[in-house]
Amino acid sequence: MQLGLPDDSVPVKEMFERFFATESTSARVRAAEPVGFDPELWRELLALEAPFMRLSADAGGGGMSLFDACLMMEQAGRRTASAPLAESLVALRALGELGGETAREWIEKVRSGETVLTLALNETHPGEVQLVPGGAVAHGILTFDGNEVAIEVPAAPLDAPATLAGAAMGVFEPGKGERQVISSNADAGRIWSAAIEEWKLLTSAALIGISQEVLSMAAAYATDRIAFGQPIGTYQGIAHPLANDVIDADAAGMFLWWTLRGIADNTPEAGANVSMLFWWAAQTATASVAHALHTYGGYGLTNEYDLQLYHRRAKAWPLALGDPENELVRAGRRLLMGEETALPDPGPVEIDFERPEANQALVPETRAVFDSVVDPKKHLLHDHSFEGHAWDIHKALGAARLLYPEWPEKWGGRGADADSVRGARAVWYEVGYTTPSTGVTGMVADAVMKFGSPELQEEVLRRFAAGEATAALGYTEPSGGSDVFGAKTRAVRDGDDWVINGQKMFTSGANFASYVFLIARTDPDLPKHKGVTMFLVPLDLPGVEIHPVFTFMDERTNATFYSDVRIPDRYRIGEVNGGVKVLSAALTQEQGGGGYHRNVREMCDAVTEWARRTERGGRPVIEDPRTLARLAKAHAHASIGEALSARVMGARLAGQPDLAYGPASKVFSTETFIADSADLLDLAAPQSLVRGREGLGLVEMGYRHSTATTVYGGTSEVLRSMVAERRLGMPRSRA
């Protein structure tokens, strides 16, 4: 797994970051309006050979990888560069691939500075006018009419109408100038198609740069601007939209890398990913600049502030191709209808989302245990709730020391390496035994190992490992919701004991657990974050009551009551009044995004199968463009969610600073899980209303299950505040 910027790419990013910061200042961008072309910037780009960097070395170019070209375009986007860089990169690369004397002559014309070359993004047909980015200043336009790739030399400069944002847009009508055919062979269409896909990737990178830059600007402004006696960034109404946007912008960046990796690996969904990425980057940029402008208030509307430059370009740049929503339909055809497309050669892509190959040492043993005990007719498999817990499976795994094989042998584990554990866990997912009680107990055990007394470790860890006991979480209180550090449940010291009184809500799994990992207030005079302590409370003690609470998700949770519950001090975990440290370590493990992308893909597969065999209006539902677009959107969300989840693990493995990657991943995955399950339920209605555990029943079940995912493990509101603070550097917004 390699999700950091490769060493060889760092100088590329830094060089173009400096270049565009120096050569594409806001003053230069303003001076280039209204056309949107800076001749001096273009000359500087030529001096750097930037337009030729995707051209192969054999054709006289730099042979730059598509990954590095996207890094360059991201920096161009950050400074809203006034030059048709993406268009010229793509056009010159296509000429290099097509070859021939005319192509070589045009490459040298561009290099000499005597001409600007751009390309028409849509097929050309006589009499059909199109707006061409860079066309207003170009001396040649690369075109494709369905048969031939040609360069058309306008007889006169193209009209440059006033547009939303400067991109040197020119009004181009094919056939009005000299037409120089470059190629009409069998490769012409393939090379042209690949060029357009590359343009989408490069433009997506520029839009990501715009998004990241405006969000940094807005966060800085919200930190400095004072209203009602405090920075406006402390208000969740300001902080949370920006947090949503930076999650989406980071998601676009990860999805770009995911897509490039897929192209390099020639995965079946690579072509669909290009279209889905372009749609996602376009809508993310639009939302980011809108919320950034709103943060500035009226000042954001004024020409004196740079934000309006970004606002107009974020919307205008992708629209040169047409409606970005069309890309979802195209993605659906590629993903679900087998439509093929040519893709560019990306060159080296050193990013890797795959974890190292799992060690298979524990796989046969794990599979053997499941084979010996699992009964699909008896056990609730592929259930993501506590209802799926089965003591016979749990104990069988424990007896084989396979519940927590990564634990030290003295605590009932195997001392297994991470790769072996991954291999074993893959069998769990394969079988469908995914009950959260195992994860919760493991999380609690981790806290006991790190912060618990030796006596407590001796009492509970081997029992957990053997599958004889589980733990539940005692965080939420009826009046506190997600404000777990505002706990009112009291723990009062009485000699060597503690006496606990209070109530917890949503103590899922407590009905079969042996312990509850409970937060209690131990000093009411201290600020709420400093006066709480963590305890591991046995649930069979006098004074503990467990009352069932049933949800519409067909799950049981619990309300737990504690009346003069007396426990020895050995059940305290961590320092007195040091609960924040203990609980923060535990919460970090919960906030990784989970596996909700798997749920979304399962629902997509079910709806796709239904759409293939169901007809409406005399044709299969799968052929409806709206169906394709909606399924493609859900698939995009699933891939992005998986990429963000991988980023959490990648950062941990690399020891990188945690910029709230886990909270960001969970916000994205759970919010899109809710949206996608609702939309897919709509799409397949009314058949989707019927309950079941397979087919469309997965959609109905997913819809009900999704609702709670933005609540447990940290609500989206709390996590957004964490993202605003740690990722954007904004002031605390939960005070």
What pLDDT score does 584 carry?
79
204: left (phi over 0), alpha (psi -120 to 50) or beta: alpha
Identify whether the C-beta of residue 686 lies closer than 8 Å to the C-beta of residue 610. Answer: no
What are the residues facing 550 on neighbouring strands?
A: 556
Q: What are phi and psi of 149, to 5 degrees?
A: -95, 130
pLDDT per residue over 629-686, tens digit each? 999 999 999 999 999 998 988 887 788 888 999 999 999 999 999 999 999 999 999 9
Identify whether the C-beta of residue 536 lies closer than 8 Å to the C-beta of residue 456. Answer: yes
Between the two ends of the chain, the Cα-to-Cα distance in Å is 38
For the chain, domain boundaries: 7-190, 197-336, 471-590, 596-726
What pLDDT score does 449 carry?
95
What pLDDT score does 200 carry?
98
pLDDT per residue over 375-388, tens digit each? 988 888 877 788 88
CATH C-level class of 197-336: mainly alpha
Identify whether the C-beta of residue 510 lies closer than 8 Å to the C-beta of residue 472. Answer: yes
Reported as a pLDDT band with limits 50, 70 and 90, residue 357 is low
Mean predicted confidence (pLDDT) in 6-28: 97
How many alpha carbons lie under 13 Å from residue 302 in its C-beta half-sphere? 6
d(CA 73, CA 50): 10
Residue type, 462: R
The architecture in CATH of the region 471-590 reads Beta Barrel (2.40)
34 prior amide bond cis, ω within 30 = yes
**pTM, entire model:** 0.91
Instruction: Return the exposure string of 252-263: e unless at least 16 CB atoms fall within 10 Å of the residue's CB, then b.
Output: bbbbbbbbbbbb
Q: What are phi and psi of 506, to 5 degrees?
A: 60, 45
Q: From the options 3.30.930.10, 1.20.140.10, 1.25.40.10, 3.30.420.40, give the CATH code of 596-726.
A: 1.20.140.10
Q: What stretch of H or E contains 44?
A: helix 39-47
Q: What stretch of H or E contains 168?
A: none
Tell me if domain 197-336 and domain 596-726 are identical in fold. yes
Q: Is domain 7-190 classified as CATH 2.120.10.70?
A: no
Average pLDDT for the chain:
93
d(CA 555, CA 708): 11
What pLDDT score does 132 carry?
97
CA–CA distance from 423 to each of 429, 433, 597 (Å)?
10, 15, 20
CA–CA distance from 467 to each of 441, 457, 527, 590 (Å)?
10, 15, 39, 21
- Residue 604 is encoded by which pair of tokens? 């997509």
What pLDDT score does 594 carry?
65
d(CA 56, CA 50): 13
Between 60-69, 180-189, 674-683, the lowest mean confidence (pLDDT) is in 180-189
Contacts of 106 (CB under 8 A, 6+ apart): 95, 115, 117, 140, 151
Contacts of 505 (CB under 8 A, 6+ apart): 476, 477, 478, 549, 559
pLDDT per residue over 222-234, tens digit each? 999 999 999 999 9
What pLDDT score does 587 carry?
67
Identify whether the C-beta of residue 80 lies closer than 8 Å to the C-beta of residue 87. Answer: no
Q: What stretch of H or E contains 140?
A: strand 140-144
d(CA 507, CA 501): 16
CA–CA distance from 466 to each of 119, 210, 424 (Å)?
66, 53, 17
DSSP 452: B
Q: Does residue 592 carry a pLDDT above 60? A: no
Exposed/middle/buried for 669, CB within 10 Å: 0-12, 13-18, 19+?
Answer: buried
d(CA 712, CA 735): 21
Residue type, 495: G
d(CA 687, CA 703): 14
Contacts of 497 (CB under 8 A, 6+ apart): 566, 567, 568, 569
